[in-house]
Amino acid sequence: MIENLIKELNPQQKEAVTYFDSPLLILAGAGSGKTRVITYKIAYMIEKFNYEPERILAVTFTNKAAHEMKERVGQLLKGKADVFVSTFHSFCVKLLKSHSVRIGFKPNFLIIDTDDKKSVLKEILKELNLDTELYNPSLIGSMISNVKNGMVSIENFELKGYDRVIEIFELYNKKLKEMNAFDFDDLLLYGKKLLTEHEDIKNRYVDYFRYVLIDEYQDTNAIQYEITKALTLEKGNVCVVGDEDQCIYTWRGANINNILNFEKDFPHAKVVKLEKNYRCSGVILSAANAVIANNTIRKGKKLFTDNEDGEPIRLFEASTDQEEALFVGKTVKKLINTGFKPSEIAIFYRTNSQSRIVEDALRREGINYQIVGGLKFYERKEIKDIIAYMRVILFEEDKLSLFRILNVPKRGLGQAAEERLKKLLDEGYSNIEALNRIVLESPLRQREGFKEILEIIEAGKEKLETLKPYEFIKFITAISRYEDYLRKEYREDWETRVENITELGNTLEEFAERSGLSGEELYLEFLNTVTLSSDQDEMEDGEKVTLMTIHASKGLEFPVVFITGLEEGLFPHARSLDANEQIEEERRLFYVAITRAKKVLVLSYARSRRFFGSYRPTEKSRFIDEIPSHLIKPVSRKTSGEKTQASSVSSISSRSSIKKKPKIVFHKKFGKGIVKRVEGAGDTAKVTAYFANFGEKTIVMKFLKVLA
């Protein structure tokens, strides 16, 4: 069967699928069928060479990609193939579950997320009486992450004036150990430790996995590189797939040299280039090739396609960022009216802060949208609270979750009560032991509050094995009086928050059905999965335009792509302008953005953009000029859409004639008014106007209509 399927592949894809004589590097250009090649290679091993599926390890970078890969292999083999497909982090979680005792941790460990990490650091800074402006928890968290990922030495930060950072680092690790917890970086760090410092463990996995595939190899960091070498260097049973032209994560540790030096690290390695693009139109692909050819740090390949040339790339020069956003909104609406589905359209920007102005424009046009990388489902307060209750029930060392739910809902436990509990926990008592002791010793009011928490934990432990997941979530919500709390504290949207908790129950039910797990094992696995989820894992189904940073778009494709804010200092970003290597990474990022588009590509920039409350002139991005001019069709303002009230208010704020000729605006409630002054520009401008029956009012421009 697989032999027939292989006939569908092009010659380079077929070579990549069938080659096993030495380590293999597949240089897979954008849209070249990379996932197809990986899944066919796995299916080929299983059917042609009778490899046991569970002894093939395939590693990629998101849970979504891992799930898709596993599913596609199953489809190829007409049944479920239990291939070990995972992310690096998930693979290390499995390693640690089996061997955590070898590094001094219990098997049922806790994985803390970014918010938890910040909470631990805040506690440490308070204990050490350090200035949180200098030792900002987010900044210190990034420092710790960079150290753990091998990007920099902790001593380097001391040289930059953070003379207590080593003390913080050591105390942070000590507190995690006390909680039997790992942060994201620890998963890789300790996973590598098990494979490089424990020969028997390494040999066990080297012998077990007959073949290892690593996807997105250009994005591997120093620790992931060491894990790959530990598992495969001796046997050479490795295939890595990647594209150096899409290496866009060096700022978080990715090392482009891992893919550039593969043949040095793995002697006798073979290289296969996948250069036929199946995704983009001829015009879009020509633009991508022209742009990336300006980079010097690359192995070199030129993509080609049999697709039609398609329409030229559209380029819009706006006078302001407001006008740019309005152009995007109106163009999206036109595209939808001509037959494109909202889900086929994506709007990219370099930084998250650019989304707000685009959101305003889409809302004005009545267009539904989703933000990938915004506030995700599992980051919502009510979800984090209920999950904290779950974690307190499951993990006796989870102090973070215990303090999170201590007064949610309010239980009359003030700072003195918290300090009393903290003291006991610091002395080495578990959560349950500390709560039991404090119930015996506390004043009556405190006693009742602590007793209630203790009863919730004990009741929850009893129900873990007997209630279905959905009912268990309902039980936690009821016994904690959490719905009553939402009714009192969030009167405007408490029902929506309750619906989110209901959806958490639904999600758990689906997870139970998919995994086949139940009871404590189910909840432990679910919490691990939730903590390791990525931005793309949160993408919703349905007809919505997608907004995202270009970094978040990696691996995706859309028929229509907008790339906004193409200005020097924004894209390429200001932080990259001083170093050629960083400019090359920004260019790779632009290349990634271009190659997400299948049919329509729209570029835009503004001649002035608001910074810190006032407009400043900008300069067009150098990357636009790297696209051959014959591939581009400029969009004039006349064809981009009729004059809008936002552009009208821009003119209000910039004309001195306002003092000579009254400007008239209309408001639904106040009627006609004469403009006296304008602060700012665009839809968010504050307009002060005099209304005959209501006097002087200051109103945001989007609620006004300009009459004259």
* Each residue's pLDDT tens digit, 8-53: 899 999 999 999 999 999 999 999 999 999 999 999 999 888 999 9
Minimum mean pLDDT range among 140-144, 231-235, 453-457: 140-144
Split at pLDDT 50, 70, 90, the class of 649 is very low
Residue 599 in domain: yes
Q: What is the pLDDT of residue 698?
A: 83
Residue 294 in domain: no
Task: Tell me, yes or no, if 618 is annotated catalytic.
Answer: no
* Each residue's pLDDT tens digit, 113-124: 888 999 999 999
Residue 541 DSSP symbol? P
β-pairing, 664-667 vs 705-706, is antiparallel
Q: What is the pLDDT of residue 659?
A: 37
Residue 593 clears pLDDT 50, i.e. is over it: yes
**Of 298, 587, 596, 663, which residue is the catalytic one?**
596
Q: What is the pLDDT of residue 355?
A: 82
Q: CB of 449 within 8 A of CB of 412?
A: yes
Binding site for ATP, residues? 28-35
What is the average per-residue pLDDT within 167-172?
A: 94
Q: What is the pLDDT of residue 492?
A: 67
- Per cent of the chain over pLDDT 90 is 57
Q: What is the pLDDT of residue 488?
A: 83
- Ordered alpha helix ranges (H), 23-164: 34-48, 63-76, 88-99, 114-127, 137-148, 154-159
**Of 246, 507, 531, 595, which residue is the catalytic one?**
246
The CATH number given to whatever domain includes residue 602 is: 3.40.50.300
Q: Which of 120, 147, 179 marks a domain boundary? A: 179
Residue 646 in domain: no
Residue 190 clears pLDDT 80, i.e. is over it: yes
Residue 388 clears pLDDT 90, i.e. is over it: yes
* Each residue's pLDDT tens digit, 686-706: 888 877 666 778 888 878 888
* Each residue's pLDDT tens digit, 194-238: 999 999 999 999 999 999 999 999 999 999 999 999 999 999 999
How many domains does the structure of the chain reveal? 5
Q: CB of 358 within 8 A of CB of 331?
A: no
**Of 18, 35, 370, 529, which residue is the catalytic one?**
35
Residue 102 in domain: no
Q: How many other β-carbons are positioned within 10 Å of the β-carbon of residue 196?
A: 15
Q: What is the pLDDT of residue 673?
A: 81
Q: What is the pLDDT of residue 208?
A: 95
* Each residue's pLDDT tens digit, 392-436: 999 988 999 999 999 999 888 888 888 889 999 988 899 999 999
How is residue 230 written in tokens? Answer: 């530990």
Q: Are residues 492 and 458 in the same domain?
A: yes
**Of 123, 185, 215, 535, which residue is the catalytic one?**
215
CA 592 – CA 569 distance, rounded (Å)? 19
- Per cent of the chain over pLDDT 70 is 92
Q: Are residues 546 and 619 in the same domain?
A: yes
How many Cα atoms sit within 13 Å of 686 on the Cβ side? 5
Cis ω before 11 (30° cut-off from 0): no
Residue 435 in domain: yes
More confident residue, 590 or 465: 590
Domain extent at residue 608: 304-376+540-634
Q: CB of 420 within 8 A of CB of 434?
A: no
Task: Tell me, yes or no, if 35 is annotated catalytic.
Answer: yes
Q: Which of 517, 532, 557 marks a domain boundary? A: 517
Residue 391 in domain: no
Burial status of residue 529 (CB atoms within 10 A of its CB: 0-12, 13-18, 19 or more) = middle
Residue 297 clears pLDDT 70, i.e. is over it: yes
Q: Are residues 502 and 404 in the same domain?
A: yes
CA dihedral 29, 33, 36, 42 (to 10 degrees): -30
Task: Tell me, yes or no, if 596 is annotated catalytic.
Answer: yes
Residue 512 clears pLDDT 90, i.e. is over it: no
Q: Are residues 16 and 131 in the same domain?
A: no
Q: Which of 455, 483, 517 marks a domain boundary? A: 517
Q: Are residues 256 and 154 in the same domain?
A: no
DSSP 477-491: HHHTTHHHHHHHH-T
CA-wise closest residue to 458 among 478, 441, 479:
479
What is the average per-residue pLDDT within 524-531?
A: 84
* Each residue's pLDDT tens digit, 571-590: 998 888 878 999 999 999 99
Minimum mean pLDDT range among 119-133, 285-299, 525-539, 616-630: 525-539
Q: Are residues 414 and 513 in the same domain?
A: yes
HEC string of 295-355 equals: CCCCCCCCCECCCCCCCCEEEEEECCHHHHHHHHHHHHHHHHHCCCCHHHEEEEECCHHHH
What is the average per-residue pLDDT within 238-255?
A: 93
Q: What pTM did the predictor assign?
A: 0.74
- Ordered alpha helix ranges (H), 198-320: 199-208, 222-232, 257-260, 262-265, 282-292
CA-wise closest residue to 134 among 171, 169, 170, 164:
164
Task: Tell me, yes or no, if 94 is annotated catalytic.
Answer: no
Q: Are residues 410 and 512 in the same domain?
A: yes
Residue 279 in domain: no
The CATH number given to whatever domain includes residue 452 is: 1.10.486.10
CA 578 – CA 297 distance, rounded (Å)? 17
Minimum mean pLDDT range among 292-296, 639-643, 647-651: 647-651
CA-wise closest residue to 331 among 352, 308, 315:
315
What is the average per-residue pLDDT within 55-63?
A: 91
More confident residue, 37 or 667: 37
Q: Are residues 72 and 192 in the same domain?
A: yes
Average pLDDT value for the chain: 88
Q: Are residues 352 and 450 in the same domain?
A: no
Q: Are residues 422 and 558 in the same domain?
A: no
**Of 34, 72, 587, 599, which residue is the catalytic one?**
34
Split at pLDDT 50, 70, 90, the class of 543 is confident
Residue 389 in domain: no
Q: What is the pLDDT of residue 534?
A: 57
DSSP 622-640: HHHHTS-GGGEEEEPHHHH
Split at pLDDT 50, 70, 90, the class of 92 is very high
Q: What is the pLDDT of residue 644?
A: 44
Q: What is the pLDDT of residue 652?
A: 40
H or E segment and range at residue 241: strand 238-242
CA 555 – CA 553 distance, rounded (Å)? 6
CA 321 – CA 684 distance, rounded (Å)? 12
Q: Are residues 495 and 555 in the same domain?
A: no
Q: Are residues 482 and 416 in the same domain?
A: yes
Residue 646 clears pLDDT 60, i.e. is over it: no
